[in-house]
Amino acid sequence: MKAVKARKDEISARSRTRFESWLKDMPGSTVYKGHARFESAREVTVSGHLLTADQIFINEGGRAIVATMPGIDQINFLTHTSILQLDTLPHHLVVIGGSYIGLEFAQMSRRFGSEVTIVETAPRLIQHEDADISAAVREILEAEKIIVRLDAQCVHFEPRGIEIAVRLSCTLGPPDIQASHVLLAVGRRPNTDDLNLMKAGVELDKRG
């Protein structure tokens, strides 16, 4: 995994450097690095600079949601960002959330050699897709010896030595599984909470 991570770091650094130079060298383009916040509908501050424009395009992306599940504050969990910093292979990765991001990390980790369990609260994987797609994806994952636990309505976590007990206590399957690592993949939220959008006259709803 050290070599895998080194290769990933090298590819992403190369891509980032190229992209940044392209933007910096483009006529009429200036790149400021820092956290931008609105001062008014037409003003933004970043790293001590006040920028003014008639139109401001907001493109701040999102981050992983940390769901309020019992025991989550007692364990070290991974998100789709921090899992990319691992340079050792999880012995048993438990993925909470059976949608696109959870499934891609589940399959990737299994193919690297981890034992993998996917825990999903809904009765099927990737609910945004049709039921036959969910069933086909489940079949593919199970053929690779990934354990899929659906209808897991009662997930909670507990540290157990250097490992983590993930309690499911649901109707099907063993009530308790032991993980070396837990990946939370239960959705993403927009990074709009620290942009001072109120100063720009924009109200946020509860989903940001």
Ligand X SMILES: Cc1cc2nc3c(=O)[nH]c(=O)nc-3n(C[C@H](O)[C@H](O)[C@H](O)COP(=O)(O)OP(=O)(O)OC[C@H]3O[C@@H](n4cnc5c(N)ncnc54)[C@H](O)[C@@H]3O)c2cc1C
* Residues 14-53 contacting ligand X, CB under 6 A: 35-36
Minimum CB–partner distance for residue 176 and ligand X (Å): 28
**Residue with CB nearest ligand X?**
61
Q: Per-residue x/- marks for ligand X, 66-85, CB under 6 A?
A: --------------x-----
Q: Is 56 in the site for ligand X (CB under 6 A)?
A: no
* The length of the chain, given as a count of residues: 208
Binding ligand X (rule: CB under 6 A), the pick from 27, 28, 48, 61 is 61
C-alpha pair distances (Å), 55 with each of 28, 128, 185: 16, 34, 34
Q: Which two tokens stand for residue 88?
A: 């050792």
Alpha carbon distance 157, 99 (integer Å): 20
Q: Per-residue x/- marks for ligand X, 87-126, CB under 6 A?
A: --------------x-------------------------
The count of C-alpha atoms lying within 13 angstroms of the C-alpha of 2, restricted to the half-sphere facing its C-beta, is: 0
In this structure, are residues 56 and 195 in contact, taking their beta carbons and an 8 Å threshold? no
Q: Binding segment for ligand X among 55-63, 68-76, 106-114, 137-145 (CB under 6 A)?
A: 55-63
Alpha carbon distance 7, 88 (integer Å): 14
For ligand X, the binding residues (CB under 6 A) are 35-36, 59-62, 80, 101, 191, 195
